[in-house]
């Protein structure tokens, strides 16, 4: 293959010079490294297609330039490699790389990710234009391979394009799933699960606990109970409790959702996903998820029949699945209407259940994990937060949700964590619906839109000393993450803003208050606070790269 590349490089040299030659060389180096990285050993004819495609794309690029299709587009950094575009600039932490690029090229930049034109907004002002001024132009989502599969063909809320179907589901879930009264009705589940976690950690007194695993396990269990109304098969919270088959499955789904399928960047590269095995993995995990949902739905329907016949006890709270079952019909035409005339079919209901799992687990666990990390590195903030929660809760023995509204400092700690570590640093991709001009730049219809919430939370025009963890910055400040202050948008904004914000935050607040109330936390022996790693792992939700290990000491009564 190297010989073929050398030969091709020579022929390119004869035809072009200067910039184009440099582009070709870069492309070849990139292709070579890609093939090496993929350990490609498929049919030899396939790599031969590359030079041809490379040539065609270069030609296309030159022609479109000549015809002025690229006029007034936002600035573009560096070299766009045919077929791959600027993918090589993203690195393993795209939000960090894009932040650096925006510092050099401005708050609105244009990249080609594969063949897909992508606009990245990195300032509160540009985010406000996209999420508020032109919300109706930017409120759609692109259809991507993994999210489309897990959402039964974009039939959910999170990954559906902007259309009547999305409006129906969003109205339905606002009324029946995310309403304050529904969130409140699930309070007992959250309190019981948090108590179970605290008890498990108490048993590990004075030995290291994997806090990252414990909180992931917590939100997995809470979500499972909220969704299906029953306990999941579980392990011990403090002993890597995530390892039930259900936890494994959800972790795999969330992981695969974060994988870049090359097919979504360039249709010519769809075969690479097959060769890498991602296609097969995606299909197997989707089938397993679907089988689990089918089984839980069938089981719950039988239980409901028994309850209606009076042969089974009624549950304390209505789970999300119950709510959906009340509005499902097998027959699309005759679905049961709610008071607002909304109805669902079974596939839409399954797609919504997947949204609950994906939205409810990783995001909340990531916030709590990073909050604990930051507090361990900032003992003064830890002291203040602990003092507050112990003073408010007193000798009751455990935190209740009714205590939370009095925990002002804890709420500021969570805000500061969301500023520095938004779980989805680039939010969820949007798609532009029609040509729009922002700051004099043309954003073409169909372009994908990334909003860098991570960079925005560090904008020095809005935040003093942005890299430092200082919850006090919110003292007396009206800035909230509810979508009206564009310098703090961990939940996004506009009509696609996260509908699960209230549900997610109340769980994080309760769990964090309980961890601070019940334990005096220490670092493992020999470790200093400067040693606590701040490295991020890979994925659609950014967790810590290495788990947070801490030693719980029982607080003095
Ligand atoms: C701390 C917790 C959470 C964070 C930080 C978070 C963050 C986000 C973000 C950034 C978006 C994209 C918004 C945009 O495009 O502007 C989103 C959308 C969404 N989230 Fe959350 N989320 C959290 C909790 C939850 C929970 C608990 C659920 C459900 C149980 C949930 C369900 C959803 C859904 C369904 C969408 C799609 C909305 C749409 O496209 O219309 N989220 N979330």
In this prediction, residue 24 carries a pLDDT of 41
> In whole angstroms, what is the distance from residue 457 CA to residue 462 CA?
8
In this prediction, residue 334 carries a pLDDT of 46
- Decide: 231 and 315 in contact? Cβ < 8 Å: no
In this prediction, residue 551 carries a pLDDT of 94
Confidence of residue 248 (pLDDT cuts 50, 70, 90): confident
- Decide: 166 and 174 in contact? Cβ < 8 Å: no
Averaged pLDDT of the chain: 85
Query: Given ligand 1 and candidates 166, 498, 508, 542, which is best to mutate, with the most ligand atoms within 8 Å of its CB?
Result: 498
Task: Check pocket membership of 161 for ligand 1, CB cut-off 6 A.
Answer: no
**Tokens standing for residue 248:** 């494994």
- Model confidence over 395-426: pLDDT tens digits? 999 999 999 999 999 999 999 999 999 999 99
Calculate mean pLDDT across residues 193-217: 89
Task: Check pocket membership of 157 for ligand 1, CB cut-off 6 A.
Answer: yes
Name the closest-CA residue to atom 11, ligand 1: 498
Name the closest-CA residue to atom 19, ligand 1: 498
- Model confidence over 4-33: pLDDT tens digits? 344 434 333 333 334 434 444 444 444 444
Distance 507 CA to ligand 1 centre (A): 14
- Model confidence over 55-81: pLDDT tens digits? 555 555 554 454 445 579 999 998 888
Among residues of the chain, what percentage have pLDDT more than 70?
Answer: 82
Phi, psi of 269 (to 5 degrees): -105, 10
- 3-state SS class at 550: strand
Confidence of residue 53 (pLDDT cuts 50, 70, 90): low
Name the closest-CA residue to atom 38, ligand 1: 158
Phi, psi of 127 (to 5 degrees): -60, -40
Report the run of H or E that residue 4 belongs to, with start and end.
helix 2-15
Question: Between vectors from CA 509 to CA 503 and to CA 510, what angle results, nearest 5°?
Answer: 90
Length of the chain: 557
> In whole angstroms, what is the distance from residue 331 CA to residue 428 CA?
32
Distance 147 CA to ligand 1 centre (A): 14
Highest mean pLDDT among 331-340, 400-409, 523-532: 400-409
Task: Check pocket membership of 504 for ligand 1, CB cut-off 6 A.
Answer: yes
> In whole angstroms, what is the distance from residue 213 CA to residue 365 CA?
9
Say which residue, 84 or 17, is predicted with more confidence: 84
Distance 306 CA to ligand 1 centre (A): 35
- Quote the pTM value: 0.87
Which atom of ligand 1 is found nearest the CA of 493?
Answer: 16
Calculate mean pLDDT across residues 522-527: 93
In this prediction, residue 333 carries a pLDDT of 44
Task: Classify the complex by whether its ipTM is higher than 0.90, answering yes or no.
Answer: yes
Calculate mean pLDDT across residues 98-120: 95
Among residues of the chain, what percentage have pLDDT more than 90?
Answer: 65
> In whole angstroms, what is the distance from residue 450 CA to residue 472 CA?
30
> In whole angstroms, what is the distance from residue 156 CA to residue 121 CA?
26
At residue 83, does pLDDT exceed 50? yes
At residue 236, does pLDDT exceed 60? no
Q: What is the DSSP letter of 85?
A: B
């Amino acid at each position: 293959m190297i010989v073929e590349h050398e030969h091709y490089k020579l022929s390119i040299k004869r035809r072009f010079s200067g910039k184009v030659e440099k582009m070709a060389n870069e492309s070849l180096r990139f292709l070579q490294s890609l093939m090496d990285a993929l350990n490609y050993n498929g049919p030899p004819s396939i790599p031969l297609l590359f030079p041809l495609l490379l040539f065609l794309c270069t030609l296309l690029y030159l022609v479109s330039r000549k015809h002025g299709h690229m006029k007034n587009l936002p600035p573009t950094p560096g070299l766009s490699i045919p077929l791959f575009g600027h993918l090589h600039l993203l690195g393993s932490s795209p939000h960090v790389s894009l932040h650096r690029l925006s510092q050099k090229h401005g708050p609105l930049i244009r990249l080609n990710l594969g063949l897909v034109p992508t606009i990245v907004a990195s300032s509160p002002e540009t985010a406000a234009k996209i999420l508020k001024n032109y919300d109706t132009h930017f409120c759609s989502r692109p259809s991507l391979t993994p999210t489309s599969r897990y959402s039964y063909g974009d039939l959910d809320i999170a990954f559906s394009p902007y259309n009547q179907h999305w409006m129906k589901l969003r109205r339905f879930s606002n009324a029946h799933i995310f309403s304050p009264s529904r969130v409140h009705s699930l309070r007992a589940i959250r309190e019981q699960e948090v108590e179970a976690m605290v008890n498990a950690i108490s048993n590990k007194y004075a030995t290291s606990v994997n806090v990252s695993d414990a909180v992931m396990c917590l939100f997995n269990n809470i979500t499972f109970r909220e969704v299906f109304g029953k306990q999941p098969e579980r392990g011990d919270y403090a002993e890597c409790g995530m390892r039930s088959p259900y936890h494994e499955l959800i972790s795999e789904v969330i992981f695969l959702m974060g994988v870049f399928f090359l097919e979504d960047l360039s249709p010519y590269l769809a075969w690479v996903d097959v060769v890498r095995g991602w296609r097969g993995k995606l299909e197997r995990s989707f089938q397993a998820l679907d089988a689990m949902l089918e089984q839980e739905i069938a089981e719950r329907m039988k239980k409901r029949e028994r309850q209606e016949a009076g042969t089974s006890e009624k549950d304390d709270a209505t789970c999300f699945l119950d709510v959906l079952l009340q509005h499902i019909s097998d027959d699309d035409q005759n679905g049961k209407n709610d008071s607002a005339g909304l109805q669902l079919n079974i596939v839409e209901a399954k797609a919504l259940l997947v949204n609950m799992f994906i939205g409810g687990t990783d995001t909340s666990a990531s916030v709590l994990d990073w909050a604990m990390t930051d507090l361990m590195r900032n003992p003064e903030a830890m002291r203040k937060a602990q003092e507050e929660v112990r003073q408010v809760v007193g000798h009751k023995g455990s935190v209740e949700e009714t205590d939370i509204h009095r925990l002002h400092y804890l709420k500021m700690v969570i805000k500061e964590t969301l500023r520095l570590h938004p779980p989805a640093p680039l939010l969820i991709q949007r798609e532009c619906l029609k040509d729009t001009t922002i700051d004099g730049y043309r954003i073409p219809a169909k372009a994908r839109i990334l909003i860098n919430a991570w960079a925005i939370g560090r904008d020095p025009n809005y935040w003093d000393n942005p890299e430092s963890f200082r919850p006090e910055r919110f003292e007396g400040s009206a800035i909230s993450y509810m979508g009206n202050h564009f310098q703090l948008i961990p939940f996004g904004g506009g009509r696609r803003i996260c509908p699960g914000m209230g549900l997610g935050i109340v769980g994080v607040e309760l769990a964090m208050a309980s961890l601070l109330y019940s334990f005096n936390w220490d670092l493992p022996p020999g470790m200093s606070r400067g040693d606590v790693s701040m490295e991020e792992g890979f994925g659609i939700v950014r967790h810590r790269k290495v788990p947070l290990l801490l030693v719980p000491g029982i607080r003095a009564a």
